[in-house]
Structure 1
Amino acid sequence: MHGPVLSGWLVVTLCGVTAAYCLMRMRSCSGEARTAAGGEALMGLGMAVMAAPAAVFALPEWGWVVYAAVFGAAALRALRPAHLAGHHLHHAVGSLAMVYMAVAMTTGGGVHAGHAAAGVPLLTGALLAYYAVYVLRSGVRLVPVASPAGGAVTVAWGARPELAPACRLAMGLAMLAMLLAL
């Protein structure tokens, strides 16, 4: 990611912590929730590595090809007919956005290498619009609503229902930052 080194490290930290939480969440849930948490953990780890400042960590040229292959496979998995609803579609868009950024970094000389703009402006703009709407929609969903009266319930960190949407919001914001740096 080009731009200020501090913003790169902030994105790395945000995505790394989010990925770690998603891995914890995988242990606390099963079925579709576990699959979603695994996809989010993969996305968070991938975004953390991609956002690392080039002065500290630069992937070799073949590294971007591996990125494109891993996230291409993740997109294909999310696009299976049984998964084309709801959050799986978002996972497919996110994985395809990661493929797009990896290909743009490979073909454009790499944002890390030459600090030149890469990618197709129309596609970048469409992804920016998608993630801007996603972030705004996710942020509104985090606004607390009145809960039914009852005693306090102790929940394990991996099963806290309010943290999963907060992590999705954080990764959406990080994706916006990465697309802006593209």
Structure 2
Amino acid sequence: MTDAQPPLVMWHASQVTPEDRQGLLSQKPITVWLTGLSASGKSTLAFALEQRLLDKGQLSFVLDGDNVRHGLNSNLGFSAEDRAENIRRVAEVAKLMNEAGLIVIAAFISPFTQDRALARTIIGAEHFREVHVSTSLRVCESRDPKGMYNKARLGNLPNFTGISSPYEVPEQPHLRIDTQNVDLDAGVDQLIALINGPH
């Protein structure tokens, strides 16, 4: 075959720019990436922040670790490879939502530094804010709302972060929140300040 074939996948540019969408919504898009152990308080903070932003007239959306595994990532398990793909897909969705002008709140254990770094690269450092929900393993295990820590201790739940799989603590997150020592309203206040801070 002598003639070069056109590519099967092509990028189609929109006439509407991200700046147009930002202007329409009167907000700067950003992804607040909440990382921490299971039962650390990530989802509670995420949904409280979403409500607070709505009350302030700002449009946001929560990407929650459990929720996305009901649909988008329902075919993924909890191996290191599947965890990495889980984060990659979510980061790509967050990037699209940021381009649409939305504030994204991502609540994921995301235990590995490499995966969080990939999320930052995909989303773009200018839009990415890493928040370590730093509640201790002892406190998280005492809460254990789903009974998963107990199952993991009994050996019935492999690759469980904090027990049979490591959690790599962020070295320089934009913010740390320990939900044992910071109440929900104060935690949301800190997140709002982060969103409204210098971009």
Normalising by structure 1, we get a TM-score of 0.32
Normalising by structure 2, we get a TM-score of 0.30
| Larger proportion of strand | 2
| Larger proportion of helix | 1
Bigger Cα Rg: 2
